[in-house]
Amino acid sequence: MKKLFTRALTGLVFVAVLVTAILIHPIAYFLLFGLITGFGMFEFYRLFGDSGPVKANRNLGILTGLFFYTITCLFASGLVSIITYLFIIPILSLIFINELYRKLENPFPNIGITLLGIIYVSVPFSLLILNGFTSFSLVGYSAKLVLGFFFLQWASDTGAYLVGISIGKHPLFPRVSPKKSWEGFIGGVIITQVIAIVISLYFTVLSTFDWIVIATIISIFGVLGDLVESLLKRSVHVKDSGTLLPGHGGILDRFDSVIFSAPIVFLYLHLKNAIILF
């Protein structure tokens, strides 16, 4: 009972902070997810530890990931030029160069895990920020667009969980996540579609069709993101990615679905805009 109360309280505080940041201003949205990106990368590198055969360059990885996150948003806003944005290339090369001086075994696995932390955490959260805008540039910020995304993500996660524990009998991917079922997945898809239609009545920044497509993306890729994070945790033999959110685990536990769904939603929205402009 106490664990359930802790989980519910953490969830309420988390949702309140997230919704408040989204509604207040795009800068608050940017700063909040900057913190989330930093903590998420810290969790990712900590999963691999410092005593195993692979030793990621944690500090350089986190700094590079935060630089990529920040410079992507500044470039999209028009505050920095393409030349400045391309400085990410020599900064990424520092991860390789620095390994020359670390004098550790397994240098390329070390480099690989360091780069993977950036790709797995920083890149998706960078694209998540850009999902809050109606064009590729940081103009036309729409809190409703962001809230709609998260409402659908929460509907998918909650719907799949509730249906799964109620009638779930056929495992979806037992090798990685024995508790997930096909019934839960299908239930999550249906519930998310219904919520998408409801959202489209109030959040008219996108059409009903767009919201339904986004709901489909979230339902499918969100589950895949959850499974991939479960695979990650199994590979390093841990139950949760961290303890930052009592009752929920860590940042990666809470955002595993978002990490996979946000980039695909970004791709859909901006390919759609490109086709319309063409």
What pLDDT does 76 receive?
78
What pLDDT does 272 receive?
78
Neighbours of 78 (CB within 10 A): 10
What pLDDT does 256 receive?
93
| Distances 6 to 1, 20, 238, 273 between C-alpha atoms, Å | 9, 21, 21, 43
Q: How do the residues of the chain divide into helix, strand and coil, expressed in percent and rounded to 5?
A: 75, 5, 20
Look at phi and psi of residue 181 and say left if phi exceeds 0, alpha if psi is from -120 to 50, else beta. beta
Residue 172 half-sphere exposure toward CB, CA atoms < 13 A? 21
**pLDDT single digits (tens) 246-263:** 777 899 999 999 999 999
pLDDT under 50: residue ranges of the chain: none
Residue 164 CA from chain centroid, whole number: 23
Q: What is the pTM of this model?
A: 0.91
End-to-end Cα distance, the chain: 56
What pLDDT does 2 receive?
65
